[in-house]
Structure 1
Amino acid sequence: MTDDAFRTGPVDKIASSTAHCDIKSPVTLSSYVVAQHGYVVAVRALAEKDQYDEVECSDGAFRHIRKGDVLVGTLGGRQALKGYSGRVPRHIGPGDTLHVLNLGGLIGECTAAHPNLGPALPVEVLGAVMVERDGQWTHARIQEDALEMVHRLNSSVPLVAVSGTAMDTGKTEAACRVVEGLAEKGLRVGAAKLTGASLMRDVRRMREHGASAVATFTDAGIACTVEDAITPIAKGVIHHLNATETLDVIVAEMGDGFVGYYGVDDLMTDMELQSFIEAHVVAATDLAGAWAAEQTFHERYHTGITALTGPVTDNDVGRRYITQRLGVTALNALQQSTALVDKVVEALPGSAFPEATRSDTAAPSSGEELAVAET
Structure 2
Amino acid sequence: MVRKIFLDKISSVTKNLKLPHEVTISSEIPAKEGTLLAVRVMEDKSVHNLFELVSGRMSTTHKGDVLVVALGNRRALKRFVGEIPKTVAVDDVLHLLSAAGIAGICTSINRIKVAGPVRLRVLGAVLDEHKRPLNIHNFAIFPRVQKVAQPIPLILISGTCMHVGKTSAACSIVKFASRRGLKIAAAKMSGIAGLADVERIKDHGARHVVSVIDAGFTSTVTSKEKVIGIVKGAISFLAEKKPDAILIEFGDGVYGEYGVLEILKDREIQKMTAVHIGCAHDPLGAMKLLEVCKEIKMPLTFIAGPITDNEVGKRFIEKRLRLPGFNALTEGEALFDAVIERIK
TM-score band by shorter chain is over 0.9
Note if 1:173 corresponds to 2:168: yes
8 Å CA contact 1:306, 1:343 repeated in 2: no
Map of 1:227 onto structure 2: 222
Map of 2:267 onto structure 1: 271
Query: Residue type matched to 1:122 in 2?
Result: R
Structure 1 pair 225–140 and aligned structure 2 pair: CA distance change class (3 A): same
8 Å CA contact 2:264, 2:298 repeated in 1: no
Note if 1:8 corresponds to 2:4: yes
Structure of greater Rg:
1
Note if 1:341 corresponds to 2:341: no
SS at match of 1:120: coil
Which consecutive residues of structure 2, in runs of 5 or more, have no partner in the other structure?
none
Map of 1:49 onto structure 2: 45
Note if 1:76 corresponds to 2:72: yes
Which consecutive residues of structure 1, in runs of 5 or more, have no partner in the other structure?
351-375
Map of 1:373 onto structure 2: none
Map of 1:260 onto structure 2: 256
Could you tell me how far apart the structure 1 residues matched to 2:163 and 2:219 are?
17
Could you tell me how far apart the structure 2 residues matched to 1:336 and 1:237 are?
29
SS at match of 1:101: strand
SS at match of 2:15: helix
Aligned residue runs from structure 1 range 190-269, under 5 A: 190-228=185-223, 229-243=226-240, 245-269=241-265
Note if 1:138 corresponds to 2:132: yes
1:48-104: CA deviation from partner (whole Å, max 9, x where unpaired): 222221011101100011111111011001111011010001110110000000111
Query: Residue type matched to 1:190 in 2?
Result: A
Map of 2:90 onto structure 1: 94
Query: Residue type matched to 2:71 in 1?
Result: L
Could you tell me how far apart the structure 2 residues matched to 1:85 and 1:23 are?
28
* Distance apart, 1:117 and its partner CA: 1.2
* Distance apart, 1:165 and its partner CA: 0.5
Note if 1:320 corresponds to 2:293: no
Could you tell me how far apart the structure 1 residues matched to 2:269 and 2:55 are?
32
Map of 1:188 onto structure 2: 183
Could you tell me how far apart the structure 1 residues matched to 2:109 and 2:103 are?
14
Map of 2:123 onto structure 1: 126
Aligned residue runs from structure 1 range 290-369, under 5 A: 290-298=286-294, 300-348=295-343, 350=344
Could you tell me how far apart the structure 2 residues matched to 1:218 and 1:234 are?
12
8 Å CA contact 1:45, 1:71 repeated in 2: yes
8 Å CA contact 2:304, 2:327 repeated in 1: yes
* Distance apart, 1:303 and its partner CA: 3.7
8 Å CA contact 1:21, 1:141 repeated in 2: no
Note if 1:39 corresponds to 2:58: no
1:20-57: CA deviation from partner (whole Å, max 9, x where unpaired): 22111011110111100011101111112222210111
* Distance apart, 1:183 and its partner CA: 1.8
Percent identity over paired residues: 36
* Distance apart, 1:154 and its partner CA: 3.9
SS at match of 2:324: coil
8 Å CA contact 1:306, 1:347 repeated in 2: no
Query: Residue type matched to 1:343 in 2?
Result: A
SS at match of 2:107: strand
* Distance apart, 1:206 and its partner CA: 1.2
8 Å CA contact 1:33, 1:93 repeated in 2: yes
Could you tell me how far apart the structure 2 residues matched to 1:49 and 1:169 are?
28
Pairwise CA RMSD: 1.1
SS at match of 2:74: coil
Could you tell me how far apart the structure 1 residues matched to 2:46 and 2:162 are?
22
8 Å CA contact 2:13, 2:54 repeated in 1: yes
Q: How many residues align?
A: 340
TM-score by length of 1: 0.89
Structure 1 runs of 4+ off > 4 angstroms? none
8 Å CA contact 1:42, 1:125 repeated in 2: yes
8 Å CA contact 2:270, 2:298 repeated in 1: no
TM-score by length of 2: 0.97
8 Å CA contact 1:190, 1:247 repeated in 2: yes
Structure 1 pair 77–182 and aligned structure 2 pair: CA distance change class (3 A): same
8 Å CA contact 2:265, 2:297 repeated in 1: no
Query: Residue type matched to 1:324 in 2?
Result: K
